[in-house]
Structure 1
Amino acid sequence: MGAAVTAVTSESFGVGAQVPIQGSGGGTVATNALASAAYRDGPVEEILKADNDVHKSTVVKGRFSLFEPNLGEAFARAVQARMLGGARAPLIQSFGTEPQPVVEHCLAANRVRRRRDRTLTLITVGFGVVFLPGLLIWLAVFQLRRTLSGASNKGAGALGTAMVLAVGVLAVLFWVRMPFGGLPAIYLRVMFVAPVIGWFLAKRVCEKTAQTLRAHWESLLTGGAVGPKLPEAVPQNPGETAAEELRQSLAKLGAEQRSNVVFYAGPKGILGMGTRWGSWQLAEELVPQEGREIHAFRTWDVIRPIHDELKLLERGTLKTGFPTPVVNHWIVSPVGEGAAAVARPASENVVGFQVKPHEIQRICNENQFGKGDRHYLGVQFVLWDGQLVLTMMVTVTALLHTLRIEVTGHALGPVHPLFTTKPSPKSRTVSKSVRFWETKTIPLPLVETNEVVRLAARAPLTWFPPVLDHLGGKLVLPEPFGLRHAWADQPWRHRFMADDAIRAATPVMRAVHRATIRTLDDHGVDTERFSNRSMVLSGSVQDPSPRRADAYDA
C-alpha cells in the first residue's frame, strides 16, 4: 500500500499550487476526516448515518439505479457545487476545521475520476456504442439485476444473477449457430462479445483508480497526506477565465470562513458552534460607592477589560494552563429554527464578510433591547485536533440601573465515526481444501462486476452533470450548510471531551467576573453585591451539568 500511495500522489496530483492541509487551531484530524469522504466508495445512503438530530442530508433517487453515484462521487460533487457555486447561498463557518482543504480534496478526487471517465468513455464508444444493440441488451440485463437485487426478496437477487448467466449462454449459442451468414452475421456475433471485451478493459481501469482513491483515503486518516495540487486553480495566462473564477471562489470561501458574523437558530444554538449547554448570569443594580459618584461608562468600556483578561487565560499560576485561546468579537444575527438559509449583512460597514470595529462597538453599546443584531465576546478553544470546539460567549447589557453579564457555553463535538473509518481490504474467508477445519482469507478485487458496469455506464454522462443527476440521483446537503456542524456528534458521549467542556466554564467565568468587578470599581460603583453574586455563581459552577439551555419549557 505504501508504494501505491507514492505512485498515486505523483500521478493524480499534477503541477499546480500545492495547498497545505491546516485546520483552524491545528484541527487536522477533523479536516482530514471530512476530506476523506471525497475518496470513499460504498453506497451513498451511508452518509445518512452521519446525520445528527438537528441537520439532516437527503439522498434524491434517480430514475435508474444503474447511474446512481457512490458515497465519494455524491459527496465530492455536492460539496464542490455547494461551496464553489457562483450563485451559492451563504455558508456557516466550520470552526475547528478549514473548509478550503476539504473542497480542494473534492476537486482532486473529481479530477482522478474524470481521468478514469475519459478512458471509460473511449472504451464505451469503441466497444459499446459501435455495437449499440448488444450494449443495450447487456445494460438492460444489469439494470434489471440491480433492481431485483435491491428487492426485499432474496430470491429476486438470485433471479437477476441467473438472467445474466442466461444471456451469456444465449450469446455463446448465437455465436456458434448463427441462422444466416455474411457481414450481418459477423456484426451480430461481435455485437454480443464486444461489450464483454470492453468490460474486461474497463475493469482494469476501474481497479487502478479504486486503488488510487483508497490510497488517498487511507493517507488522510493516517496523517501521511499532503495538500492537493490543483492546476485548474492556477491561471497560466489572462485568458483562462475558468481558473481565475475558481481561484476567486476559493478565496471567497476562505474570507467567509473568517467572518465575524454568526447566526443564532433558537434551540439549534449558534450555527457552527453547537447548542448552548450552560448559562450563568451576573445581574445587579449599579449603586455608587459611599462618598463617590458613578463615572459614566458604556457596555463597551466593560467588554474591553474582559477581552484583555480572557487573552491572559493561557498564563496561569500553574504550568498546566489553558491552550492558547482564540478571543473574538462576534456579531450574532437571529434566524428561525427551521430557516433554510441565512443572509449575511451587506453594507458599507462590512468589508470582506467582516463587520468593521466601529460598527461592532456601536452594536455593543446600542443594540441591547428590541430588534437588531447583538454583540458577543467569545473565547474559543479548539481541542482534540479539531474534534472538540468549546466556545464561551460573553454579553454585557445595561438596562436602566441594572448591569447584566451573561456567560454561556457552547460545545461542538467530534465528526461522526463514519468519516474516521479507514478503508478495509475486500476479502472472503473460506475453508482450506485439505485441512477443511482451517480457514484462509482470499483477497477480492476492489471493483466488482456490477460496479464496473455502473462506472462504464456513467462515464459518458459525467460531461453532463445535470443529466446524470436526473438519471442517477444526487446528495442534497443540509441547510444552512457548514462542513463542520453538519456531521458533528454531541461531545457528551465522550468522557474526556465532556470533562474538558465542563472544566473550561469555571476559569472563563471567573476571569469575566474579575475583569468586570475591577472595571466597576474604577468607575465608582459599589461592587459588594456583584462580588457576593459572583461568589454564589462560582460555587454553583463547581458542579455544572450540561443541559438544553435553549429549550424553554414555557
Structure 2
Amino acid sequence: MTVDSGYADIFGPQVPRTGHEGQTATFALASAAYRDNKVQDIKKADNDWHQSAVKDGRIKLFEPNLGEAFSRAVVDRMIGPGRKPLIQSFGAEPQVVVEHCLAANNIRKERDNRLSIVMVLSGLIFLPGLIGWLLVYILRSTMAKRDDKRAGTLATALLVAAGALAVIFLIRMPFTGFWAWYARACVVAPVLGWFVAKQICERTAKDLRERWDSLLAGSSVGAKVPEAVPSSPGETAAEQLRQSLAKLSAEQQSNSVFYAGPKGVLGMGTRWGSWQLAEDLVSAHADREIHPFRSWDVIRSIHDQLRMLERGPLNTGGFPKASIRHWIVTPIAEGAGAVSRPEGTDVEAYQVKSHAIQDICNKQQFGSGDRHYLGVQWTLWDGQLIITMLITVTVLHETLRIEVTGHALGPVNGLFTSKPEAPTKEVTKSLKPWETRKVKLPLVNSDEVVRLAVRAPITWYPPLLNWLGGSITLPEPFGLRHAWADQPWRHRFMADDALRAATPVLRVVHAAAIKVLDENGVDTEKFGARSAFLSGAVQDPTPRKADVYDA
C-alpha cells in the first residue's frame, strides 16, 4: 500500500502539500492552530456527543491561548509516541491539519527563542527590577479585572505611580558606585526589554493572523515543516516524524469503523433513518429448489449497481461521484474512551483484507463479532457535509433481510470558520461627545506581551508549561472531523441533500438485490411489493434519531 506522506520527495527538496480543492473543513480545522482566542473558546465548539475539556493550570500568567493549546494537543494526540487509535476524518485531511499545527508550533518556537534571549539580557541579569515590575503588573491586572467601574482608573493610576517612583528612584539614588548603576539598570532594562519583546510579539502575531485568514479565504497556504523531511538517512528524529505522518495517513484510509450506539458510526455521524426489507426465500418454481447463493453475491451486485448512481436519463447534474467501500464495523460502548482496531494476519496497513471481508459478510450475521456494511458516501459542501448510506444483507433461517441506514455528519462548528478581526475599541469624539468612533488597537496588548515573555523561557519543556498554565483535553475516541461537527439539520440545503440521497440509493439497492434473487430462482413477488412500500415510506421528510430506542 502506498502512503502519501505529503511531500514530493523524502530526501530531496521540501515541497509541502497545500491541500486540494474543496477542503473547507480541513482548512477551517487547521486555522485553529494559528488563532489567538481564549483557550476556553474551544468549549463553544462542543456538540451533544463529544466534549473537550480545558485543564486549568496553577498560575494564570502561564495560561495558553487557543492556538497554542490546540496545536500542541493535536500534535501530541495524532502523532505522539504510543498514541491510541484515531477515528477517520471523513471530508477532511488530518495530515494537513497536523502539518499546520507543527508549522504554528515552529513559528511560536522561533518567537519564544527570541523572547528568551530578551528575558535573559533584560530580566534575568537584572532580576530585582524584573520582580518589581512583575509585581506591579500583577497588582494592576488584579485590580483591572474587578467589576467595580473604578477598577480601571485605579489600575492606570497604579501604573503611573510606579513609573513616577521609578523616575524618583533613578534621580535620588540611595547607592553609589557599581550598585548605583546596577540599580538604575534594574529599573530601565526590564522596560527596554518590554519594548523589544512587544515588537517581536507584534511581528509573530501578524504572521499567525495572516495564515489564519489565508486558510479561511481558500488560498491554501502551505505549512512549512522542515523537520518532517530528512535530509540524510541519519536524521532519526525527522525520519520518525515522517513515519508518524505516514502512519496517520494510512489510518485515515482504514476500512474499519466503530459503532458507538446513539453516537452512531464514529466519523460518519448519527443514524437518522433506517429502512428494512425482510421476506422469506421461497422458490419461484414448485418443482425446483432455489439455487444456493451467499450474502456476498447480493452485496456484490448492489456494489456494481451503486456505481451507476451518477448516471441518469436527464442531464440535470444529479449525484457527484460517490465513494463506495466495504466497511468492517466494530461495536463499542456509547461512553467508550478508546477504540481498538482489528489486528492479525487478515489486516495489513489498517486495511481488512478482501477474503476476511467476504467471510464476515457471509458468516458473522448473528451474535458477537464485527459486521460487514457496504457504504456509499458523498463528501459535499467542500467537506462540510458527509452523507453515508450503509447497506447490510443478512440471512437467518429462510429470511433474507436487506437494511439501508442513513448517516449524516454536519459542518464543523462556526468557531473554526470565524475570520480574524482587528482589535478595536469605541471612544467618544472630542468635538461631538454624543457620538463614538472605533479606534484600532495593537494586535498584541501589554498584558499579552508580559504573558508571552514570562512563558518563553519554559516553552522548551511542554509538560512543565502545561502543569503551570493548563492545556486542552481532546474528546475521546478522538477524530478531528467528528469531534467538532454540528448537526446538518439546521442548514436547509444540507438537510435537503441528506434526505434526497436516501430514495435513489434505496431503490438501486432493492433493484440489484431482486435481480440476484430472480437469477437464483427465488419468488420475488413479496420482495417487490415490500420494496414498493418502502419506496413510499422513504419519502417521509423527517429525520429521526434511529439509534435511540424507546424501550
Q: Give me the TM-score of the superposition, normalised by structure 2.
A: 0.95
> Are the structure 2 counterparts of residues 31 and 126 from structure 1 closer, same or farther at C-alpha, using a change threshold of 3 Å?
same
Q: How many residues align?
A: 538
Partner of 2:456: 459
| 1:169 and 2:132 aligned | no
Find the residue that maps to 1:18 and give its secondary structure.
coil
8 A Cα contact 1:432 1:440, kept in partner: yes
| 1:302 and 2:261 aligned | no
8 A Cα contact 1:21 1:28, kept in partner: no
8 A Cα contact 1:18 1:228, kept in partner: no
Partner of 1:427: 424
Partner of 1:381: 378
Distance 1:308 1:207 in 2: 58
Taking the TM superposition and a 5 Å limit, the aligned residue runs for 1:278-297 are 278-291=273-286, 292-297=288-293
The CA deviation string for residues 347-380 of structure 1, in whole angstroms up to 9 with x for no partner, is 1111000000000000101110000000000000
Match for 2:228 among 228, 233, 245? 233
> Which stretches of structure 1, 4 residues or more, deviate above 6 A after TM superposition?
none
Partner of 2:3: none
* Residue identity matched to 1:98: E
Give 1:273 deviation, angstroms.
0.5
Distance 2:433 2:147 in 1: 33
Distance 1:454 1:398 in 2: 65
Taking the TM superposition and a 5 Å limit, the aligned residue runs for 1:404-483 are 404-436=401-433, 439-483=436-480
* Residue identity matched to 1:232: E
* Residue identity matched to 1:421: S
> Are the structure 2 counterparts of residues 514 and 20 from structure 1 closer, same or farther at C-alpha, using a change threshold of 3 Å?
same
| 1:50 and 2:45 aligned | yes
Partner of 1:402: 399
Find the residue that maps to 1:446 and give its secondary structure.
coil
8 A Cα contact 2:46 2:483, kept in partner: yes
Distance 1:161 1:355 in 2: 66
Root-mean-square deviation over aligned CA pairs = 1.6
Taking the TM superposition and a 5 Å limit, the aligned residue runs for 1:316-335 are 316-319=312-315, 320-335=317-332
Give 1:17 deviation, angstroms.
2.6
| 1:265 and 2:260 aligned | yes
| 1:112 and 2:90 aligned | no
Find the residue that maps to 2:477 and give its secondary structure.
coil
Give 1:545 deviation, angstroms.
1.2
Partner of 2:495: 498
* Residue identity matched to 2:439: I
368-377 vs 164-173, which deviates more?
164-173
Partner of 1:100: 95
Partner of 1:246: 241
Give 1:553 deviation, angstroms.
1.2
Find the residue that maps to 2:279 and give its secondary structure.
strand
Give 1:150 deviation, angstroms.
4.7
Taking the TM superposition and a 5 Å limit, the aligned residue runs for 1:205-216 are 205-216=200-211
Distance 2:267 2:18 in 1: 20
8 A Cα contact 1:64 1:143, kept in partner: no
> Are the structure 2 counterparts of residues 176 and 28 from structure 1 closer, same or farther at C-alpha, using a change threshold of 3 Å?
same
Q: Give me the TM-score of the superposition, normalised by structure 1.
A: 0.94
Taking the TM superposition and a 5 Å limit, the aligned residue runs for 1:29-48 are 29-48=24-43
Match for 1:354 among 348, 351, 356? 351
220-229 vs 543-552, which deviates more?
220-229
385-394 vs 311-320, which deviates more?
311-320
The CA deviation string for residues 521-543 of structure 1, in whole angstroms up to 9 with x for no partner, is 10110000000000000011112
> Are the structure 2 counterparts of residues 75 and 167 from structure 1 closer, same or farther at C-alpha, using a change threshold of 3 Å?
same
| 1:486 and 2:457 aligned | no
175-184 vs 307-316, which deviates more?
175-184
> Are the structure 2 counterparts of residues 154 and 488 from structure 1 closer, same or farther at C-alpha, using a change threshold of 3 Å?
farther
> Are the structure 2 counterparts of residues 74 and 367 from structure 1 closer, same or farther at C-alpha, using a change threshold of 3 Å?
same
Structure 2 unaligned residues grouped into runs of 5+: 1-11
* Residue identity matched to 1:354: Q
Find the residue that maps to 2:529 and give its secondary structure.
helix
Distance 2:175 2:412 in 1: 64
Give 1:179 deviation, angstroms.
2.0
Find the residue that maps to 1:77 and give its secondary structure.
helix
Give 1:169 deviation, angstroms.
2.7
Distance 1:28 1:535 in 2: 39
8 A Cα contact 1:17 1:233, kept in partner: no
* Residue identity matched to 1:20: R
Structure 1 unaligned residues grouped into runs of 5+: 1-14
Partner of 1:546: 543
Distance 1:224 1:436 in 2: 43
> Are the structure 2 counterparts of residues 157 and 245 from structure 1 closer, same or farther at C-alpha, using a change threshold of 3 Å?
farther
* Residue identity matched to 1:139: L
> Are the structure 2 counterparts of residues 360 and 126 from structure 1 closer, same or farther at C-alpha, using a change threshold of 3 Å?
same
Partner of 1:6: none
Distance 1:452 1:185 in 2: 29
Match for 1:61 among 47, 50, 56? 56
8 A Cα contact 2:337 2:476, kept in partner: yes
Distance 1:316 1:212 in 2: 49
* Residue identity matched to 1:306: I
Distance 1:517 1:155 in 2: 79
Distance 1:438 1:152 in 2: 25
> Are the structure 2 counterparts of residues 137 and 363 from structure 1 closer, same or farther at C-alpha, using a change threshold of 3 Å?
same
The CA deviation string for residues 226-276 of structure 1, in whole angstroms up to 9 with x for no partner, is 322321111111211110000000000000000000000011000000000
* Residue identity matched to 2:189: A
Find the residue that maps to 2:459 and give its secondary structure.
helix
Partner of 1:4: none
Find the residue that maps to 1:382 and give its secondary structure.
strand
| 1:256 and 2:251 aligned | yes
Find the residue that maps to 2:425 and give its secondary structure.
strand
8 A Cα contact 1:18 1:230, kept in partner: no
* Residue identity matched to 1:83: M
8 A Cα contact 2:19 2:220, kept in partner: no
Distance 2:165 2:59 in 1: 25
Give 1:177 deviation, angstroms.
1.5
Identity over the aligned pairs, expressed in percent? 64
